[in-house]
Structure 1
Amino acid sequence: MKRSGPLLTLLAGLLVGLFMLSLNATTGEKPTSAAVQPSPSTKASPGTKASPSAAPTNTTPPPRATPSATAVPEGVYTGRTDDDSSAVAITVRDDKAIAYVCDGHNIESWLQGDVKADGSLRLTGKGGASLEAEAKGTRQLRGTATVGSGSHPFTIDRSKKSSGLYRANSTVAGAKIEGGWIVLPDGEQVGILKRDGKPSPAPRIDPETGAVTVDGQQLTARPVTP
């Protein structure tokens, strides 16, 4: 009986060891996965309103008013073209205008048309002749006359009493007479006289009376108005 004591003690120890191993196997903790926390909501809270976007700012400057051109004062304007090849006279009255362009030899043209409220005018004549001009201040007209194959820029001044535009129509010795004269401020006269349509330099007139002698007969050249 004394020999079985140590064996029983050893057996008891083994049983205790096996029991502890079995207990650890059944009660061991497994690692748990990390809890996923919901992300904070990105929605705005019910009490918060989105601020309205600012209205677009109009950066375009307002249109600038265009200054009105100078109206053409009534009167007679005379002078020479810039190339000094011809003389130009324009008579303005009641928003109408008549012009005469003449080289004093064989080229001439009578033109007419309306004067615009903005101070511009466009006149037309026979054979496609034209004249465009506009007021420069109150005593000048600046433009271009196109007669025949030539275009001639000009700047002419409002005429003084001694200068102006004259015209005569009559019959002398059975021939039809048509004459046009431009009397310039310095007293120079430029004109053409036609006998039955044939041009020649016009004889001088008296600017005070318009008297002119053609083939021994006295005629009267009268100031031209629209």
Structure 2
Amino acid sequence: MKRPGPLLTLLAGLVLAAFLLTLNATTGTRSASSSYQEQSPSPAPVRSSQASPTPAPTPSRSGTADADYAGRTDDDAAAIAVSVRGGRAIAYFCDGRTRESWLKGDVEDDGTLRLTGKHGAKLEGTLEDGKGIDGTVEVDGTRHAFAADRAKKPSGLWRATATVRSAKIDGGWIVLKDGSQVGVVTRDGEPSPAPRIDPETGAVTVDGQRLTARPVTP
């Protein structure tokens, strides 16, 4: 019986080596894959499909309602009007003869007003559910309590400015809910009683010249 030749022996060795290499490669791949899977992080917990409750909106405070207010001082010595818009306020105090004052300032969230004007004038009051204002106003060192109801047009605060016969004209009017008017016109800083305006159009004649008064807002 002949023994296999050297060539056959060599071929058998090569086949065996190739088989062993293939086996090792397959085993290593599986081992690496298994190791990677073991080290993979756990999936994130699934969140509940129920959404978190949305916070209820903060209700707006009616005390800061945008509106106009007009009334008289408790001693009936003067009239006062206040216009409120966007957290700001402008007010006018007028006795219809020679005393007047324009005041302005902020309105707090709780409806509190603290307004100031020239020569130390000041107004302190509180908006009452958007229906009116109660407070005090101090002008020329004299303090007056007042109450002003919510005004409906044409009631409220009006103003006209112009130059007439080289004089600077500045007029302010408060139209009350009963239709009465209280106003002062200053000519180059000199005050005097104001003529009536047409509350429907704001038309007014001052020193022979026709002017137009307009509603005042902050």
Q: Secondary structure at the match of 2:130?
A: coil
Tell me what 2:115 maps to.
123
Matched, 1:208 2:217: no
Cα offset for 1:165? 0.4
Cα offset for 1:70? 5.3
Cα offset for 1:120? 0.4
Q: Secondary structure at the match of 2:159?
A: strand
2:151 aligned to which of 159, 164, 181: 159
Paired residue total: 159
Tell me what 1:108 maps to.
100
Structure 1 or 2: more helix by fraction: 2
Task: Give the aligned residue type for 2:82.
Answer: I
**TM-score, length-scaled by structure 1:** 0.68
Residues 184-209 of structure 1: per-residue CA shift (max 9 Å, x gap): 00011001001111110000001111
Q: Secondary structure at the match of 2:197?
A: coil
1:172 aligned to which of 160, 164, 180: 164
**TM-score, length-scaled by structure 2:** 0.71
Task: Give the aligned residue type for 1:146.
Answer: E
Matched, 1:217 2:209: yes
CA distance in 2, matches of 1:72, 1:133: 12
Tell me what 1:22 maps to.
none
Question: 4+ residue runs of structure 1 moved beyond 3 angstroms?
Answer: none
Q: Which 5+ residue runs of structure 2 have no aligned equivalent?
A: 1-60
Tell me what 1:4 maps to.
none
Cα offset for 1:140? 1.0
Q: Which 5+ residue runs of structure 1 have no aligned equivalent?
A: 1-68
Two-structure CA RMSD over aligned residues (Å): 1.3
Asked if the contact 2:67–2:130 (Cα under 8 Å) also holds between the matched residues in 1, the reply is no
Q: How does 1:1-226 map to 2 (within 5 A)?
A: 71-226=63-218
Cα offset for 1:136? 1.9
Aligned-pair identity (%)? 61
Asked if the contact 2:69–2:81 (Cα under 8 Å) also holds between the matched residues in 1, the reply is yes
